[in-house]
A and B are shown apart, each in its own frame.
Chain A
Amino acid sequence: MGVSKTKQPLRKRGGKARSEERRFAFLFVMPALLLVVVFRIVPLIWGFVLSLTDARGVTEGAFIGFDNYAELARDPAFHDSMANTILLIATLPIWIMVPMLLAILIHQGVPGGKFYRAVYFFPATLSSVIVGSIFNVLLRNDGQLNQFLELFGIGAIDWLGNSNTALLSLIAVQLWATFGMSLLIFLAGLSTVPSDMIEAAKLEGASMLQTFWHVIIPTLRPIIEFVAVVTTIGVLTNMFGLIYVLTAGGPGTSTTLPEFLIWIELGRMNRPGYAAAISMVLFVLMAGIAYAQVRIMSRNVNV
């Protein structure tokens, strides 16, 4: 009896409740949607339109078609930023191998593993401004690194002032500052590797190296892919702060990456139209990779 009593009003409320649910649902997602549309999606389209103008300073600028893109093709600073990007991408295997190896070792039970995990991640919590300022002092010609190397009879190297070493220094510092993040991702992935598989391999008499290659690496494949995607996006779009304080893009253009060039063209050169064109190139460069990330992420949520 009690059941039918409560069931009746519930069904009656069904239609009303559903329309109320719809109303509130829209209300709840609206702030998020609005922020994303106003600050990211509309600007993306607007940015493309701007890239087709010769806007300078605050003047609107006239429509000039793809002239900005044609100028990019001739701009040596842009060429350099692209060459630097290619070199950066070429180092990606290191960005993946180093944290993977360390994560596997920690997972295999190196003494003090928990401690290493915490310490390795620490630099990733620091601002690129702080990391850059510290290394700017350490890597100077009369800096602490050269002083340290002198103990081994190695002569001073102007790490940041020499265009041959500046980009490599920048890459090394960024790698140092972020490998802890990838390490945590690998550790999370390793925790899903069934431990009885590793035990079984060991019982079979497999060496540590064999276990690596035949058990751990194959099961880690999706994680390796994910780290590769996240790292690529990171090096394409997350190095502004470090460049800004460590090298300011120099000497010359030797550490200028597209994201820094965008900033220079907007700020120092006051050419928003041209800066927008570089932005579009950067977007195309990373869109494919970012699409892969979004695919991976949405695969894991049932909406």
Chain B
Amino acid sequence: MSEFTVGKRQRRLLWGISVPMALIALTCVYPVFFALNNALKSNREYILDRFGIVSEPTFQNFVQAWTRSNLSEYFFNSVVVTVLSVLALIIVSSLAGFALAVLRFPLRKLIFVVILASLMIPVQVVLVPFYKTIIGLGLLNTRAGLILSYTAFFLPFSVYLMTSFYSGLPRELVEAARIDGAKLTQVWWHVMLPMGMPALITLGILNTLYCWNDILISLLVLQDNRTLMVGIAALRGEYTTNVPLLTAGIVLAAAPIVILYLVFQRKIVSGIAVGAVKG
């Protein structure tokens, strides 16, 4: 069918268009190739040939970045904070989504609007009072402070997505569980969490990206005990001339996200679409 509708000329046109599109695709992967290629060079080799492909690969830069530049410490810090923040986001947003979408209670609409409207208040707009709040609560330089901050700032979209997902589920599910005499906490655990899995996995991946990649909030909250992105930014400042070492740090910092993307590419791409189609 399509062979008749798409003419020969159009097909040739599409192939022609494919060329600039391939070039754009090349620029999208080049920086990662660039980082990996130069991370494997010795500083001497880099200075002699900045453009070429590595000839004598060395892992020295990775070792130095990991140990002497403290990236191992920052890496661990980022893993702990990201994992706990994502867990908190999943629990808090699925509880709230359950209540807002399924349960009946006064002020429900208002509470939903308040949570959604806080999207209008990004961290820059409240930078000073947010910082003072963190100090006032004794959370400065604590991981708990950073986890709470991430949960607060990435929450509205998560609550929105869970509310919209749960409101699409048949209400009978909950009614049936309740007639069986299940408590609402049990309904959440045994019905809402499993049923919400597709949306929760999407949220888990997206929030992992946000938390792992953040720099502004973590610069403010964890001033002594750096996260990985703050560490990379500092590494860039200290070693402007030692590009191999810097790129080794970059590769280490990007690796978890690149692996996550390679594994969950389909899920990530369609997850973004789920949020978008709503618009």
Contact = CB atoms under 8 A, between A and B. Distances in A.
B131 A266 contact: yes
A184 B269 CA distance: 7
A144 B6 contact: no
B233 A21 contact: no
A216 to B, nearest CB: 15
Interface string B91-118: 0110110111101111011011111111
Interface stretch (A72-80, A82-90, A107-115, A163-171): A107-115
Contacts of A275: 127-128
Interface of A: 6, 10, 17-18, 20-22, 24-26, 28-29, 31-33, 35-44, 46-47, 50, 102, 105, 108-112, 115-123, 125-138, 142-144, 147-148, 176, 180-181, 184-185, 187-189, 191-192, 199, 202-203, 208, 222-223, 226, 230, 233, 237, 240-241, 244-245, 258-259, 262-263, 266, 272-273, 275-276, 279-280, 282-283, 286-287, 290-291, 293-294, 296-298, 300-303
Interface in B234-279: 236, 243, 246-247, 250, 253-254, 257-258, 260-261, 265, 268-269, 272-274, 276-279
Given A121-B269, A240-B216, A25 B108 contact: yes
Contacts of A291: 120
A237 B122 contact: yes
B51 A147 contact: yes
Contacts of A24: 99, 103, 184-185
Given A119-B25, A203-B5, A303 B163 contact: yes
Contacts of A144: 34, 50-51
Contacts of B100: 29, 303
Nearest to A46: B129
Interface stretch (B56-64, B144-152, B193-201): B144-152
Contacts of B188: 28
A28 B96 contact: yes
Given A32-B95, A110-B14, A110-B21, A290 B119 contact: yes
Nearest to B102: A25
A28 B15 CA distance: 54
B229 A35 contact: no
Contact of B105 (A17, A21, A123, A180): A21
Contacts of B119: 290, 293-294, 297
